[in-house]
Amino acid sequence: MNDIIDVFFVLILATAALIITVRTLSSLFNIYSFQSLFIAVVAVVLFFQTGNIVLLLIAILTILSKALLVPYVMRRIQKNMNLKRDVEFRYLTPIGSLLVGTLMIFLVYRSFSTLLSELSYDDLFFFGAVIGLSITLMGMMVIFTRKKVITKIIGYLMMENGILLFSLFIAELPFIIEVLIVIDLVILITLATILAYGIDSTIDDFHSKLNSFTLWFKD
Amino acid sequence: MHFILYAFINTLFVILVSPLFVSLIKKVKAFTQGRQGPPIFQTYFMLNKLLSKERVYSVNSSLIMKMTPYINITCMLVASLFVPLLYVPEPVAGIGNVILFLYLMVCAKFFMALAGLDAGSTFGGMGSSREMTVSAVVEPVVIIVFAALGLLMNTSNLHEIFSSSIKSSLVFNPAAILISLSLFIILIVETSRIPVDNPETHLELTMIHEAMILEYSGSDLALMELSHSIKQTLLMAVLINVLMPFGLALEPGITSILLSSVLFILKAVILSVIIGIFEASFAKYRLFRLPSLFMLAFFFSFSTILFELLR
């Protein structure tokens, strides 16, 4: 059982590395969708180990919202924006981000190993927490290195995935908070859809675009 | 005595099967592009033809140009002793050392780059400069990947690495999956395949490996091509022996060798198909984007080391 979870950890790490480097938007969404799916599978395996029904609910919620709904909406936004790739980076190139990412995993591992040696956690749980937190940090890195807003959203979503993974293993979040987070995500995506008109343009362009909507409210 | 037998069988097998995978990858690529592709034994025909042709040297060329094909093939054949394809022999001093294996490959590469410069053609010089640029970036990554492999198996001897990977099934070991991803990227980079280099063109903008051997002709070219295909087979064999080692015999014997040779060809055919599809589904990267590919391999091997520390 633990081996299967380990394999999925590897796959989750690989998807995180790909989200940092990949430039084509459609494959970014696919990779994100797979990452969410892998996390859901980890939750299902944990459910079979512990029998905690909340884990199964989290898995179902994750698959429905993050593996299916969110990527679908993101693809719609992308179609509206007529944007295929995000090739602009700030502060760090993808190569630099990967290097910093490996460093971050190592730092998280170091800090956790001193922290958790006091508590008697299972190796697997320790590992899940390390990967969860590193993915959160890598998501943050995606947010500040990418220039386009739509890829920043992917970074935010990846951070959320990291928190979910972390909460699966160390600090068990109550299910209600999990649901709230997903609602948050859906609101974020809805907002992004509304802003999709202007998300690819400058503020001035956007203002004039939004002004056209105010006509609806004039009598 | 045993080792001499092993050396003979292994070398013969490597030389015999290597050209097969080169043309197989070409065939798979052709199929994905809707073409018929060359016959599956085309590389054998080509090598046969080239061996009977005369050699032409540039007036500017020196001894390096004439020596390089022999150095290359020697390095590759010696390196082939390090990677058992059929059965793992008794340990012999020095043979199987990972560092020596890597440096034999680099030695061949170094002389190839020198030969590219030697003929005095601009293409060769360009190819050599690109190859050295790429190697300078990829070499640390290769070392890290093989270090991670050594850490995973607790030894720096390739023979011992493979014999312990047979004993412990690694297919579901997460570290083995990570290391295979890195090994696959290295296989693509070192054999000059598509995101890095295009093996099919002689266009000046894309070629790296082809540019260096552009000045070669006749039997020299045949040796260069053969050593390139042997290099590919060896790297494929490392990947195969780490990820799916079943069939690799621990004791020599007629039946076990026959069985393992059939199984090796089968596994290598599957891997060649994967490589062909991989190559067909990517476009060539710009030269300055290549480090991100190497960085992925670095990232994966680093996580392998981390996985091992955690276990």
- Of A16, A38, A18, give the one whose Cα is nearest residue A27: A18
Predicted TM-score (pTM) of this structure = 0.85
> Torsion-angle region of residue B228: left (phi > 0), alpha (psi -120 to 50) or beta?
alpha
Among A7, A13, A123, the residue with its CB nearest the CB of B303 is A13
Q: Do B295 and A21 touch (CB under 8 A)?
A: yes
Domain that holds residue A38: 2-217
> Torsion-angle region of residue B58: left (phi > 0), alpha (psi -120 to 50) or beta?
beta
Q: Do B177 and A10 touch (CB under 8 A)?
A: yes
Q: Do B295 and A7 touch (CB under 8 A)?
A: no
CA distance linking residue A139 with residue A157, whole number of Å: 8
- Of B95, B94, B109, give the one whose Cα is nearest residue B142: B109
Question: Is ipTM strictly over 0.90?
Answer: no
pLDDT on residue A198: 58
Chain A residues whose C-beta sits inside 8 Å of any chain B C-beta: 3-4, 6-7, 9-10, 13-14, 17-18, 21, 93-95, 98-99, 101-102, 105-106, 109, 123, 126-127, 130
Q: Do B174 and A9 touch (CB under 8 A)?
A: yes
CA nearest to B179 within chain A:
A10
CA nearest to B303 within chain A:
A102
Q: Do B181 and A4 touch (CB under 8 A)?
A: no
B33-77 confidence digits (pLDDT tens): 999 989 999 999 999 999 999 999 988 889 999 999 999 999 999
pLDDT on residue B100: 92
Q: Exposed, middle or buried: residue A56 (CB in 10 Å: 0-12, 13-18, 19+)?
A: middle
CA nearest to B299 within chain A:
A102
Residue A178 clears pLDDT 90, i.e. is over it: no
Cβ count near B234 (within 10 Å): 24
Among A6, A94, A105, the residue with its CB nearest the CB of B306 is A105
CA distance linking residue A190 with residue B221, whole number of Å: 61
Per-residue tokens: B267: 């596994």
Please report which residue ranges of chain B form alpha helices under DSSP H: 2-32, 42-51, 63-82, 98-118, 122-153, 158-167, 174-190, 209-212, 218-243, 254-280, 290-310
Among B173, B175, B181, the residue with its CB nearest the CB of A14 is B181
DSSP summary character for residue A120: T
- Identity (one letter) of the amino acid at A24? T
pLDDT on residue A215: 57
pLDDT on residue A217: 55
> What is the total count of domains within chain A?
1
Confidence of residue A181 (pLDDT cuts 50, 70, 90): confident
Confidence of residue A213 (pLDDT cuts 50, 70, 90): low
Residues of A in contact with B307 (CB under 8 A): 6, 10
pLDDT on residue B41: 93
Q: Do A10 and B296 touch (CB under 8 A)?
A: no
Confidence of residue A206 (pLDDT cuts 50, 70, 90): low
For residue A58, the surrounding DSSP H or E stretch is helix A53-62
pLDDT on residue A180: 81
A80-115 confidence digits (pLDDT tens): 777 788 778 888 888 888 889 989 988 988 888 887
CB within 8 Å of B23: residues ≥ 6 apart: B38, B39, B40, B41, B42, B43, B44
For residue A151, the surrounding DSSP H or E stretch is helix A149-169
Q: Among B173, B292, B298, which would you mutate to test the A interface (most chain A Cβ atoms within 10 Å of its Cβ)?
A: B292
Task: Find which of A55-59, A122-126, A189-193, B88-92 is predicted with most confidence, using mean pLDDT.
Answer: A55-59
